[in-house]
Structure 1
Amino acid sequence: MYAPERQQEILRLAREAGRVDVLSLAEQFQVTAETVRRDLKALDRAGLVRRVHGGAIPAGRLDFEPDLTERETTAADEKSRIARAALAELPDGGSAILDAGTTVARLAADLPVDAALTVVTHALPVAARLAGHTGIELHLVGGRVRHRTRAAVDAWALRAYAEIHADVAFVATNGFSAHGGLTTPDLAEAAVKRAVVAAARRVVLLADSAKAGEEHFARFAGFAEVDLLITDTGLAPEHKAAIEAAGTEVVLV
């Protein structure tokens, strides 16, 4: 099947189902995931689909954002490896901000029982995982809770982060690229993520490679503000090179 034929079929599937995902398309058409991403990029440039985390939706559904349950099951193995690698970036007895995101929540779940540090988070799933950890001094940032992400947003959260200077922030994103930076679909969520980035001396981005090249509505940081990206080995060499050229260290796990 030639690329234009495959892209036409991908567009038909997206319109019928309301969403298509990269891995399922790769299996269906017997091509690599990178080939599917190129197809989706071509359809996105043509204005026929909108690329989202792990796949695409038909053009016109720009507000689409997968719910928490769906994101937790996407790229589960990759997220687990990323979270384990991130443990090495925890400050010994220092302070850390844990952003809202499923990979960051896995990091919270993997914290050793003998860990001793101060943690600040606006993410309810992260707080729930750490509430019983006796070595963690947990600070929960409040605000309006978004049902889709279980994260606090708006003025209360922004004021709290404006008063914090943490050693490190572990940040999540819906999409990233060297040119487009870090993006997410929701403006309120982006504002809090921007405040998180500003509130830490060191910023570590935890993101699986399926998010590479994806751009969403709200931009909250550029790679000049990110010290380290921990991602999986599926990251394309050209993405890695471009991000490193922006000054960010990249670790593949």
Structure 2
Amino acid sequence: MILERVRQNGSATIQELADEIHASPSTIRRDLDQLTEEGYLERTHGGVLLVPPLRSTFEREPSLDAQLQHNQKIAIGQVAAQRLNPRDSVIFDSSSTVLEAARAAVLRDIPLTAVTNNLESALVCSQCPSWRVIMPGGTIRPTTRSMVGEPGEAFLKTIHVDVCLIGAYAVTGRLLTDATIEVASLKRAMIQSARRTLLLVDSSKFQAPAFSTFCEIQDIDEVITDDGIAPEHLAALRAFSVKVTVVPVNANGSASMS
């Protein structure tokens, strides 16, 4: 909650955070100290500033990352889930926005074959009795609940799915990047296994590149993002002749139908 509150306004005082979150100033200070130590925030006199993660190998802790742009991620996921047809085979990667797409697709209750390297996504997908859920295998990355490496990459090279739903740490011009070589390599294999790839990224992901490139925007069939995207980033996407869907976001996190 603290990160999302600071993200919305760029900065906040300790008292503002305490009043909004209904916590004591001392509790807020301890939380801020931890977030500052981890590189998310910069302390100021009596408050904090949000620090953009300019380090190319910076990785947010997954539970914190899921809080940021949460309503936008839900809305993007709802639209992406509507792109799936009964009996499709679908790769769900380990990004938090794709997880929201999996949740929305489960509510549709159409038969699918789901392939995912993310433990949380696999549990979500397993809630639908009509789905066949496949995990490629690999080594679980500490704190991320996702698997990378072998035998997962080799397995992905043997399958041919209808749709791949994938996220990115950063979109910079034509480049899609991730903070680690291992995750980028797996994403590359996922894209190569799919007939169609949909990129699900909230508007905050249009930023400086992360460490490792996994594809270029021309490898993507459709980009789904939210209406917070800057006009220059939207124009750049459309200049590459990729289909772009901009999702208006309601306050409750659903995609606006207006």
User: What's the TM-score, normalizing by structure 2?
Assistant: 0.75
SS at match of 2:82: helix
Matched, 1:56 2:52: yes
Provide the rounded CA distance (Å) in 2 between the counterparts of 1:242 and 1:113: 33
Q: In the alignment, which residue of structure 1 is the partner of 2:17?
A: none
In the alignment, structure 2 segments of 5+ residues that lack a partner are: 1-5, 14-38, 41-49, 248-258
8 Å Cα contact 1:229/1:250 also seen in 2:
yes
Q: In the alignment, which residue of structure 2 is the partner of 1:225?
A: 219
Q: 1:150 aligns with which of 124, 145, 163?
A: 145
Provide the rounded CA distance (Å) in 2 between the counterparts of 1:77 and 1:235: 14
8 Å Cα contact 1:227/1:247 also seen in 2:
no
Provide the rounded CA distance (Å) in 2 between the counterparts of 1:244 and 1:26: 32
SS at match of 1:168: strand
SS at match of 1:56: coil
User: What's the TM-score, normalizing by structure 1?
Assistant: 0.76
Q: In the alignment, which residue of structure 2 is the partner of 1:32?
A: none
Provide the rounded CA distance (Å) in 2 between the counterparts of 1:248 and 1:62: 26
Q: In the alignment, which residue of structure 2 is the partner of 1:121?
A: 116
Q: 2:204 aligns with which of 203, 210, 217?
A: 210
Q: In the alignment, which residue of structure 1 is the partner of 2:240?
A: 246
Stretch deviating more after TM superposition (131-140 or 198-207): 131-140
Q: Pick closer, same or farther for the CA change 1:55–1:118 going to 2, 3 Å.
A: farther
Q: State the shift of 1:55 in Å.
A: 4.5
Q: State the shift of 1:72 in Å.
A: 1.1
Q: State the shift of 1:203 in Å.
A: 0.4
Provide the rounded CA distance (Å) in 1 between the counterparts of 2:143 and 2:210: 16
1:160-171 → structure 2 map (5 Å cutoff): 160-171=155-166
Alignment RMSD (CA, Å):
2.1
Q: In the alignment, which residue of structure 2 is the partner of 1:138?
A: 133
Q: Pick closer, same or farther for the CA change 1:113–1:244 going to 2, 3 Å.
A: closer
1:1-253 → structure 2 map (5 Å cutoff): 22-25=7-10, 55-57=51-53, 62-111=56-105, 112=107, 114-179=109-174, 181-253=175-247
